[in-house]
Every structure is written in C-alpha cells, then in structure tokens.
Amino acid sequence: MAGGGDDEDMGALAWPGFVDILSSVLIMFVFLVLIIAVALYFYTLTYTSTVDREAVRNAIIEQISDASAQAAAAEIVSELRRENASLKQKVGMLSDRIKMLGASMSDSVEQKTFASDGGRELIIMFGSDAITVTPETKGKIEEFVDRHRKENPDLSFDVLAVKNREAPTESIARTIALSRMFNVRNVLIEDDVDTKTISLSIISGEKIDDSYHWVKLVATDGK
C-alpha cells in the first residue's frame, strides 16, 4: 500500500515539469518564428529597394543610350545629306562636262548672224551645245567674203573665237572654241580663200549679246 502511494505522488509531481518544458519550447519556437519573420521582412525591403534602384539605373542607362543613338543617327543623317549634296554637285558638273564634250559632235540647228563695224565684221552666234555651221550661215559667210573680195581682192580674213568662261574646264572651253573656229575657216577654204590670208585667234571671256558662244569673221586689209 505504501509503495502505490509513492508512485502516484511522483506522477503528480512530473506533470507540472512537463508543462513547463513544453511551454518553454513553444515560446522559443514562436520567438524563433518571429525573428525569422522580421529578418525576412527586412530582407524583402532591402531586396525590393535594390531591385528598384537597378530598374531605375537601367532605365537611365537606356535613356542615355537612346539619346546617344539618336544623336549618332542625327549626325549620320547630316553627314549623308552633306555627301548627297556634294554628289549632286559633282553629278551636275559631270553632266555639264558631258554636254560640252558632246558639242564636239553636235550639229547646229539654229544660228544667228549679223554684221558690225560698218559691215567689216560678221558675227556668228552658235547654240550652247553646237559647233557646226548651218547651211544658212555658210551662205552668209560666202556672201560676206564675195562682197569684200569684189571691193578688194587682196583682203585677208581674221577668224576670232571666244573661250567660254562658264565651261567646266579650260580644256573644254578651248576645244569648243577651236572646233567652231576651224569650221568657219573650212567654209572660207571651200569658198577658195587662200589659207595664207586666213588668220585664226582665240579670245578669252568676251561676251556678245550676253553669250560666249560666238565666232567673229573680220575682213582686213591685205598683207
């Protein structure tokens, strides 16, 4: 009987200790969970702030990159426009040069002739893209020569051609002037004018009727 009473007393004494231990464990667990929650909260705040800063930094970098790309693109466009304008100018010059060079094989369609200096000079106005002498002009030259040779059989003739200052190059201007001058000379030769009485000269930059496209035939005293 005495032994059974002791067991019951020991069991009654163990129960409060178990409750204390369990309470302590629960309190420690709750405290640990609380600490973890606080740590996770601050970690989340820190991570969110870092992500926001990174997003802002990337946005700024992207804007700067876009601005730089736009500036570079604008500079490229400007450079291309300058090159395009330069190429247009070169193409225009080449077109003019080709046009002038083509005049060496171009036939005249219309020409104007008129006398000056009391009829002692015959001015032949050429088209800007032509060097040949039209049949009408050829007849005017022959009439001019025949009339003056009747007055003085010993007359000489000067053929003056002008170089076009507006030509692309000096060489082209000289070639055109020479071609026109020789074509007029050939008409004189065909009209039986002695080559010894024909003088050829090139004049630089003198306009007649606001044009550089002319040849002047002058009757001079015999030499």
Kindly report the pTM of this predicted structure: 0.53
**Which amino acid is located at 120 in the chain?**
R
Q: Indicate the pLDDT class of residue 218, thresholds 50, 70 and 90.
A: very high
**Which amino acid is located at 152 in the chain?**
N
User: Could you read off the pLDDT of 173-215 as tens digits, one per residue?
Assistant: 888 888 888 999 999 999 888 888 899 999 887 888 888 889 9
Q: Is the pLDDT of residue 223 over 60?
A: no
Contacting residues for 145 by C-beta, under 8 A, at least 6 apart: 157, 188, 191, 193
Instruction: Measure the CA angle with vertex 135, ends 150 and 162; round to 5°.
Output: 80
Lowest mean pLDDT among 56-65, 93-102, 143-152, 154-163: 93-102
Residue 104 confidence (pLDDT): 47
Q: What value does the mean pLDDT of the chain take?
A: 79
User: Could you read off the pLDDT of 50-81 as tens digits, one per residue?
Assistant: 877 787 778 777 777 767 777 777 788 888 88
Q: Long-range pairs for 163-168 at CB < 8 Å and ≥24 separation?
A: 163/202, 163/203, 163/204, 163/205, 163/212, 164/212, 164/213, 165/204, 165/205, 165/212, 166/212, 167/100, 168/93, 168/96, 168/97, 168/100
Contact by Cβ (8 Å): 111, 134? yes
Contact by Cβ (8 Å): 161, 177? yes
